[in-house]
Amino acid sequence: MTTAVIDNTNDNPRARSPLVLGDTSLTRVTDLVCSVYERPATRGWYIAFGISASLTLLLFAMIGYLFARGIGVWGLNHPVGWAFDITNFVFWVGIGHAGTLISAILFLFRQKWRTSINRSAEAMTIFAVACAGIFPLIHIGRPWLAYWLFPYPNQMAMWPGFRSPLLWDVFAVSTYATVSLLFWYMGMVPDLATMRDRATTRPRQIAYGLLSLGWRGSNRHWLRFEKAYLLLAALATPLVLSVHSVVSFDFAVSVLPGWHTTIFPPYFVAGAIFSGFAMVLTLLIPVRQIFGLKDLITPKHLDNMTRIILATSLMVGYSYAIEFFIAWYSGNSFELFAFLNRSLGPYWWAYWIMVTCNVIVPQVFWFKFFRSNTTAIFITSLLVNVGMWFERFVIIVTSLHRDYLPSSWGMFKPTAVDLLTMLGSFGLFFTLFLLFIRFLPFVAMAEVKSVMPHVLHEAGPTALGDYWGDAPRDHRAPDKGAH
């Protein structure tokens, strides 16, 4: 293995392309990852944190204003009863899906490249779900009664509507948040122990000491850890499909033209993974640049992610097309009107922003030039984020604003509170992510080491096949690397 490999995106049949570039000693991986939080925070970090923390404060100010004045401060009204609130909810829940897909499904399918990005993608999932969870809670008229969503014994002898997808949503999203958090934290324990061992100040030693739960890296620890990780991955896998399917039921189970379609669950899941990978790229490209992680998050990782974006973009584009086909083929005039109105009606611009960003722009990833151009990937990922936000806006608002009776037609205009609340949710998301960069291991060090060449060839505890389930190897690599 030469250390001069720079482009690892080629599929060379004679040798596997390395997943870590440059000097491939194990110590270097630890040093690289730990340098992200060990170096003093830069001015750039403080500026970014200042902006996002201010936006977070703005979010809470807007929520406080909402609670004081009521839902009327938002632009939604009859007939558009759902607008920015649910758009933002679905958008953020969708973002989270890439993390679960990378951590669970790619793990079970032995996609070794996931190790460099899974930790940050899982963190993104948690933070996105935190942002998502806010919106359903604040959009109910009396948020202090939000606990009524849960079935608990009460003096009213009342239960929530078990036949309502809104209740399924409560369970789907809370399960998702719980499992994602457990998976993220449990996978982090060995790395937290590394941080504990490298910590030089007492508060850090105590904090990471508590968080690493007494991890000493013994064989028994690893045995338990790997088993638990596999089980959690298996538990989390159905969630990738179930959560956004249930979110789509919020719409599909109703009888509204534009919502009442059977394609919604797979269409929403594909869109969620699409938007999630776009957000992963939006976050990782600057981070790998700024913190010098290019040897860990290599061009191959970016290349793989752009391929997933291309594939899911085609699925989403197919769904858009098939919706129109069914609207025509069903012969239902209301259905046909809903879709013609969606693309040519008063919100035509939103529809075409969505199509451009989600279907047309990602087609550039057919070409290697764009797949290997970091700037192009970054811009495309931003556009996909925009497009996916507009997708939810289009589905929700354009389906609602033309009721069956023209006397019940209306338009939705966002108020300043609507816009600032959405902006604030981005502030919360980036605040959490910036804190994550400074205080937790950004890359799963232990897992990256397990996919490096000399570890894969090493005998010993892994001789009967490594943690990824590979067949045992006969020869030993001459250099075992320094632990």
Partner 1 sequence: MPTNNSETSRRFVFPKWSNLLRPALAVLMIGGPLYLTALAWYGGSPKTLDIGYAPVQPVPYSHALHAGKLGLDCRYCHSSVESAAFAAVPPTQTCMNCHAKVRANSEKLALVRESYATGMPIPWVKVHDLPDYVYFNHSAHVRRGVGCVECHGRVDRMEVVSQVETLSMAWCLDCHRNPTPRLRPPEFVTQMDWTPGEDPAALGQRLRQERNINPSTDCYTCHR
How many residues bind partner 1, per CB under 8 A? 16
Q: Which one, 141 or 406, has the nearer CB to partner 1?
A: 141
Cβ atoms of 325 and 339 within 8 Å: the answer is no
The reply to whether 156 sits near partner 1 by the rule CB under 8 A is yes
Instruction: Please state, in angstroms and rounded to a whole number, the distance separating the CA atoms of residues 284 and 291.
Output: 10
Considering only residues 228 through 287, tell me which ones interact with partner 1, judged by CB under 8 A.
Answer: none
At residue 340, what is the residue type?
L
Q: Give whichever of 7 and 38 is closer to partner 1, judged by the CB atom.
A: 38
Which residue, 30 or 120, has its beta carbon nearer to partner 1? 30
Enumerate residues 26-55 that contact partner 1 by CB under 8 A: 27, 30-31
Site pattern 180..199 for partner 1 (x: CB under 8 A): -----------------xxx
Q: Does 202 bind partner 1 (CB under 8 A)?
A: yes
218 binds partner 1 (CB under 8 A): no
148 binds partner 1 (CB under 8 A): no
Asked if 155 is part of the footprint of partner 1 (rule: CB under 8 A), the reply reads: yes
Which is closer to partner 1, CB of 205 or CB of 415?
205
319 close to 263: Cβ distance less than 8 angstroms: yes
Closest CA to 276 of 363, 351, 399, 180: 180
User: Locate tokens 């790229």: which residue?
Assistant: 281
Are 290 and 44 contacting, i.e. CB atoms less than 8 angstroms apart? yes
Tokens of 473: 């190897």
Nearest alpha carbon to residue 124 among 384, 420, 437: 437
Amino acid at 336: L
Report residue 239 as tokens.
């969630």
Which is nearer to partner 1, 20 or 280 (by Cβ)? Answer: 20
Closest approach of Cβ 27 to partner 1, in Å?
A: 6
174 binds partner 1 (CB under 8 A): no
* 3-state secondary structure (DSSP) of residue 19: coil
Q: What would the DSSP string read from start to end of 195-227?
A: HHHH--SHHHHHHHHHHTTT----HHHHHHHHH
205 part of the interface to partner 1, by CB under 8 A: yes
Nearest to partner 1 of 149, 322 (CB atom): 149
Contact 132, 92 (CB under 8 A): yes
Instruction: Compute the radius of gyration of the chain from its Cα atoms.
Output: 24
158 counts as binding partner 1 under rule CB under 8 A:
yes
Smaller CB separation from partner 1, 155 or 262: 155
Binding residues for partner 1 (CB under 8 A): 27, 30-31, 154-158, 197-200, 202, 205-206, 209
